[in-house]
Amino acid sequence: MSIDLSSVSVIEAIGVDEVRRLLDDLAPDVVFANADEARSMGVKESIGGAMTIVKAGAGPVTVFSEDAAPIEIPAQLVASVADTTGGGDAFAAGVLTHRAWRTEPETACVAGHAAASAMLSARGRVG
């Protein structure tokens, strides 16, 4: 199971401790967060044992796992982007559809960046 933290306002409304409790109860395999959500949650390590992937827009993602040091994977450069809506979702889809995302998070994130780049590049061409 994967969960995207999705909103700083929701985290603030119900509180970090409650979000962490809910995540512990749900026990996802992977948690996605953007940089603002991660900051709000104080992410400096894996959340509740889940692989935790912190997205940073055009910057590198950081992957936190219980059994490994954090790793950063650079994003792919996109020449022209008109709208970033959906970029994070495309990234997560690319990660989760990678054949070995559980054991090869770095290559899965490269696949996620490729999916996001393709979607954002397509958006840049839409008029």
Q: Kind and range of the H or E element at 13? A: helix 8-14
User: Any idea what the Cα angle at residue 9 is, between residues 4 and 14, rounded to 5°?
Assistant: 85
Residue 67's CATH number: 3.40.1190.20
- Return mean pLDDT, the chain: 91
119 has pLDDT over 90:
no
What are 28's strand-pairing partners? none
Q: For 9-30, how does the pLDDT look when each residue is reduced to its tens digit (9 = 90+)?
A: 999 999 999 999 999 999 999 9
Q: Where residue 127 falls among pLDDT bands split at 50, 70, 90?
A: very low
pLDDT band at residue 58 using 50, 70 and 90 as cut-offs: confident
Domain span at 117: 2-125
Domain count, the chain: 1
CB 94 within 8 A of CB 119: no
Which tens digit of pLDDT belongs to each residue from 70-115? 999 999 888 777 778 888 999 999 999 999 999 999 999 999 999 9
Q: What are phi and psi of 69, to 5 degrees?
A: -70, 150
Percent of the chain topping pLDDT 90: 74
